[in-house]
């Protein structure tokens, strides 16, 4: 059949329109993925759900696992709704989703996926094998690869159960060693804990240094602690860290957390503190602090609760 120029033009226009629609859909899904995971990392689980649902339904693995986690947390157990998303993530090789499913077939599949990765020296795979078997040897092997979460969890294990500490070694010393290594690997959970260990607290300048590193990493708790510290102290100096008062800087840090993390467990206390700060500031100072906050967001990592991926969550 002969094709006429007008027919070809119409066909090409249709193809271009379909291509544009697909591109728009992909952009929509990608934006949903980014927003959903951002809110999920902030601990804003309710707010993250509709965005994660869009990305998860489009087949994005991280969103599928995160959505399963949101539903599990909301209901307090692994419900059928959560399992639906875990299964989809598991079908794409997500080991943590397989562990959440927990049935024998899923655990066998997880073991099969982990074995070749472990043989290649993958520290995360060793940590996942620990979560699967609960054998401390895998946690130690993972920590020895310097995988950050494993180093932190090993310190946690020694702190909770001194019987795990090798004979002849001191528990506190080992905890400090692994926490420091995890903190130096930029794991905010470790930074927060390490900064409160006696090894650090006896040196105020070192403690301030770790607090500032934690806040600069975008950690919600670190940002609040830093904000509270520079906004406290009737004498003009914070009694815990020794910071001089700086209300605009304090306002900036706390405003960032209040604005971004509406479901954060410390949101109410942060909001109250922000209200009290504002009473001692001019409107010009407040506006300046909010302006600084927007600049901070553009020059620092995304804010996050920095929860562990799986362990104890």
Structure tokens at 231: 């906004």
Task: For residue 248, tell me if it sits in a domain.
Answer: yes
Task: For residue 117, tell me if it sits in a domain.
Answer: no
pLDDT band at residue 22 using 50, 70 and 90 as cut-offs? very low
pLDDT band at residue 312 using 50, 70 and 90 as cut-offs? confident
Task: For residue 103, tell me if it sits in a domain.
Answer: no
Task: For residue 175, tell me if it sits in a domain.
Answer: no
Task: For residue 161, tell me if it sits in a domain.
Answer: no
DSSP single-letter state for residue 300:
S
Average pLDDT over residues 107-112: 98
Cα radius of gyration rounded to whole Å, the chain = 24
3-state secondary structure of 272: helix
DSSP 104-172: HHHHHHHHHHHHHHHHTT-HHHHHHHHHHH--HHHHHHHHHTT-HHHHHHHHHHHHH-GGGSPTT--HH
Count of structural domains, the chain: 2
Among candidate residues 81, 98, 115, the one where a domain is terminated: 98
pLDDT band at residue 3 using 50, 70 and 90 as cut-offs? low
pLDDT value at position 311?
Answer: 87
3-state secondary structure of 58: coil
How far lies 163's CA from each of 126, 130, 166, in Å? 22, 18, 8
pLDDT value at position 8?
Answer: 52
Q: What range defines the domain where residue 289 resides?
A: 213-313
- Indicate whether 63 pLDDT > 90: yes
Among candidate residues 98, 130, 146, the one where a domain is terminated: 98
Task: For residue 75, tell me if it sits in a domain.
Answer: yes
Average pLDDT over residues 85-112: 98
Q: What is the CATH number of the domain that holds 66?
A: 1.25.40
pLDDT value at position 2?
Answer: 53
pLDDT band at residue 136 using 50, 70 and 90 as cut-offs? very high
* pLDDT tens digits for range 169-193: 999 999 999 999 999 999 999 999 9
* pLDDT tens digits for range 266-287: 999 999 999 999 999 999 999 9
Place of tokens 């929860």: 307
Task: For residue 77, tell me if it sits in a domain.
Answer: yes
pLDDT band at residue 74 using 50, 70 and 90 as cut-offs? very high
Among candidate residues 98, 132, 157, the one where a domain is terminated: 98
Task: For residue 234, tell me if it sits in a domain.
Answer: yes
Q: Which of 119, 116, 161, 113 is nearest to 136 (CA)?
A: 161
- Indicate whether 7 pLDDT > 90: no
């Amino acid at each position: 059949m002969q094709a006429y120029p007008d027919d070809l033009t119409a066909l090409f226009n249709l193809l271009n329109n379909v291509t544009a629609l697909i591109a728009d859909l992909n952009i929509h899904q990608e934006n949903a993925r980014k927003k959903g995971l951002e809110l999920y990392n902030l601990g804003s689980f309710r707010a993250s759900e509709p965005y994660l649902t869009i990305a998860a339904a489009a087949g994005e693995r991280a969103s599928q696992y995160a959505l399963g986690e949101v539903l599990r947390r909301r209901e307090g157990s692994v419900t059928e709704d959560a399992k639906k998303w875990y299964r989809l993530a598991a079908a794409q090789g997500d080991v943590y989703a397989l562990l959440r499913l927990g049935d024998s077939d899923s655990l066998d599949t997880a073991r099969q996926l982990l074995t070749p990765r472990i043989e290649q020296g993958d520290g995360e795979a060793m940590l996942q094998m620990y979560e699967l078997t609960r054998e401390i040897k895998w946690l130690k092997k993972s920590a020895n690869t310097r995988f950050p979460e494993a180093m932190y969890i090993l310190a946690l294990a020694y702190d909770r159960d001194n019987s795990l500490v090798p004979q002849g070694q001191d528990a506190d010393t080992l905890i400090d060693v692994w926490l420091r290594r995890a903190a130096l690997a930029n794991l905010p959970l470790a930074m927060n804990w390490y900064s409160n260990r006696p090894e650090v607290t006896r040196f105020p300048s070192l403690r301030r240094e770790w607090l500032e590193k934690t806040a600069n990493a975008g950690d919600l708790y670190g940002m609040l602690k830093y904000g509270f510290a520079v906004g406290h102290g009737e004498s003009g100096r914070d009694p815990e860290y020794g910071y001089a008062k700086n209300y605009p800087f304090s306002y900036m840090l706390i405003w960032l957390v209040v604005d971004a993390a509406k479901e954060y467990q410390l949101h109410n206390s942060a909001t109250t503190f922000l209200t009290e700060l504002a009473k001692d500031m001019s409107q010009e100072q407040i506006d300046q602090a909010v302006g600084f906050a927007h600049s901070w967001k553009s020059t620092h990592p995304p804010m996050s609760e920095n929860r562990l991926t799986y362990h104890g969550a």
